[in-house]
Every structure is written in structure tokens, then in C-alpha cells.
């Protein structure tokens, strides 16, 4: 097995996992990354690939921090459904299997994932709904509905409501409601994780 085989096969595995990551897709479809959300998602996928192959001994926690930070920075989104830890665990496991050349096992496991269309490609157009308050008049060209792959935003937002995903502003609002002023001379430090 050559290094090129490993890189090519791990890339295919990573793309399969990212194309099945429902929260990332929902963030793009609901305009969390703005009009370039799909391109941002592709860039996150590319960065994750380079990070994984460029670092030999990544821990799941390190990779998880990277993905959480990227999702927060680029999509103003925090996933609370454990999808990020699951993705990181699988990516690192499949990276190890790719290094060992166990492609039959990988193929067998990945074939159990839903067989949807790959959407993390520049030639696939994702129609998104702008975030409330965003000026959508300049986005009319992007929303013309000429989706060559037939991918469209679901009419009801039940998927969005059912995934445990909150924006940073919702988290801040909740924290402000729960905040109790410390005694003078004390500083309150909070972690972002629960």
C-alpha cells in the first residue's frame, strides 16, 4: 500500500462521512453560513482531511475541538447531539483502518450509511433559507430554484427543531438569564461544554 492509496482512500471515507452529517447540511440549508455556506462546509471538510493526514497522533478530543470551533466560527452553530464526537471517533478509526489497508471492512461499514447524493461538491447547488433578519434581496439569484440535483430545503422546520442545535446567540441569551453577579473581587469563568 502506498501513501497515495492511503490519502485517496481516506479522502473518500471522510467525504462519505461529511456528506452524511445531517447537522452540517441543516446549517447550510438554513443559511447559518450565509450565501457561501456550502463552500464553507466544503472548506471545513478539506481542512479536516488535511488536519487528519497531517497529524499522526491526533486524539479524538483534539479533532473534536477543531470541528466544534470551525462550526461555531463559520456557522455560529453548536451541535449538542453528540454528532461531532461520533464523527471524530469514526474518522480516527477509519484513518487507522486505511493505514492498515483494511478497505473491505471500511467499505462494508460505510455501505450501511444512507445512500444519499453527495452535496459537498462545487457542482451541486444547495438552496438555502436565509437566517431571519438577513437581507435576502441580494440572494434572489441564488434562490432561483435551478437545483440540478433536485436538492431543496424541506418545507417544515421539524428537522431543524429536532436536532439539538443552538446558535451562539441563543446560548448567550440563556447564560445571561442564568447569570448571577459574583461578589466584588471575584471573576466568573464558564466553560462552553456541558
Task: Find the helix or strand (DSSP H, E) in which 165 lies.
Answer: strand 165-167
Q: Compute the mean pLDDT over every residue in the chain, rounded to the nearest whole number.
A: 78
Q: What are the domain boundaries of the chain?
A: 3-118+158-167
List pLDDT tens digits, range 34-81.
Answer: 989 999 999 999 999 999 999 999 999 999 999 999 999 999 999 999
List pLDDT tens digits, range 114-157.
Answer: 888 899 988 888 777 765 655 444 443 444 444 444 344 343 44
What count of other Cβ atoms lies within 10 Å of the Cβ of residue 165?
Answer: 22
What is the residue-wise DSSP string for 32-49?
A: TTGGGHHHHHHHHHHHHH
List pLDDT tens digits, range 96-119.
Answer: 999 999 999 999 999 998 888 899
Amino acid at each position: 500500500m502506498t501513501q497515495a492509496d492511503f490519502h485517496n482512500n481516506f479522502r473518500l471515507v471522510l467525504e462519505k462521512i461529511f456528506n452524511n452529517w445531517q447537522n452540517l447540511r441543516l446549517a447550510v440549508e438554513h443559511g447559518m453560513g450565509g450565501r457561501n455556506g456550502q463552500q464553507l462546509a466544503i472548506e471545513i471538510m478539506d481542512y479536516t482531511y488535511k488536519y487528519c493526514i497531517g497529524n499522526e497522533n491526533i486524539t479524538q478530543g483534539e479533532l473534536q475541538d477543531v470541528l466544534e470551533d470551525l462550526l461555531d466560527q463559520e456557522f455560529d452553530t453548536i451541535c449538542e447531539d453528540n454528532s461531532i464526537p461520533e464523527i471524530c471517533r469514526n474518522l480516527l478509526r477509519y484513518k487507522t483502518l486505511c493505514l492498515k489497508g483494511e478497505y473491505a471492512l471500511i467499505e462494508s461499514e460505510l455501505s450501511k450509511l444512507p445512500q444519499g447524493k453527495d452535496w459537498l461538491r462545487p457542482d451541486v447547488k444547495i438552496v438555502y433559507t436565509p437566517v431571519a433578519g438577513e437581507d435576502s434581496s441580494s440572494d434572489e439569484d441564488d434562490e432561483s430554484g435551478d437545483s440540478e440535483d433536485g436538492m431543496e430545503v424541506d418545507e417544515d422546520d421539524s428537522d431543524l427543531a429536532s436536532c439539538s442545535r443552538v446558535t451562539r446567540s441563543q446560548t448567550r441569551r440563556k447564560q445571561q438569564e442564568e447569570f448571577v453577579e459574583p461578589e466584588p473581587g471575584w471573576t466568573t469563568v464558564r466553560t462552553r461544554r456541558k
